[in-house]
């Protein structure tokens, strides 16, 4: 059974940092690209970042460039999202998702998120 378990969310002040983790089980982790997505009531689902099976290439939504950083540790079956300079508008539920392939689908220079499994999400609240 595929399982993705996010952790690391919480309450943080504006300008602060958080590192989210997503630990996977039930599949060959280093055969798959992975993604981070978030959801808010206002914007709905928003794709944030992806990383190839080996961590060799990373992709970001333009609005995340420079603030968020994705990484993975295949020995630990875990991906991470380092989030810096957090803003109130980063408040959301953050999900990790498994890509069916080693590389995310890129169309016209943009990642077209295709996911076959999601985690349960972790809440991030940015507030003073």
Confidence (pLDDT) at 41: 87
Q: What is the pLDDT of residues 82-128, one digit of tens each?
A: 999 999 999 999 999 999 999 999 998 888 888 999 999 999 999 99
Pick from 91, 106, 96, 40: which is nearest to 71 by CA? 96
Residue carrying structure tokens 């890509």: 99
Tell me which long-range contacts 17-21 makes (C-beta under 8 A, separation of at least 24). 17/82, 17/83, 17/84, 17/85, 17/86, 18/83, 18/86, 18/124, 19/80, 19/81, 19/82, 19/83, 20/80, 20/81, 20/83, 20/94, 20/96, 20/122, 20/124, 21/78, 21/79, 21/80
Q: Could you read off the pLDDT of 43-63 as tens digits, one per residue?
A: 899 999 999 999 999 999 988
Q: Note the pLDDT of residue 108.
A: 87
Mean predicted lDDT score pLDDT of the chain: 95
């Amino acid at each position: 059974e595929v399982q993705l378990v996010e952790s690391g969310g919480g309450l943080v002040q504006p300008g602060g940092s958080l590192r989210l983790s997503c630990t996977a089980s039930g599949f060959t982790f280093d055969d798959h690209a992975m993604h981070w997505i978030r959801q808010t009531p206002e914007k709905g689902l928003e794709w944030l970042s992806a990383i190839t099976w080996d961590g060799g290439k990373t992709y970001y939504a333009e609005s995340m460039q420079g603030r968020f950083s994705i990484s993975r540790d295949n020995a630990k079956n875990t991906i991470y999202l380092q989030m810096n300079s957090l803003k109130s508008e980063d408040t959301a539920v953050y999900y990790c998702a498994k890509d069916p392939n080693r590389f995310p689908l890129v169309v016209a220079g943009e990642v077209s998120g295709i996911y076959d499994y999601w985690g349960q999400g972790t809440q991030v609240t940015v507030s003073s």
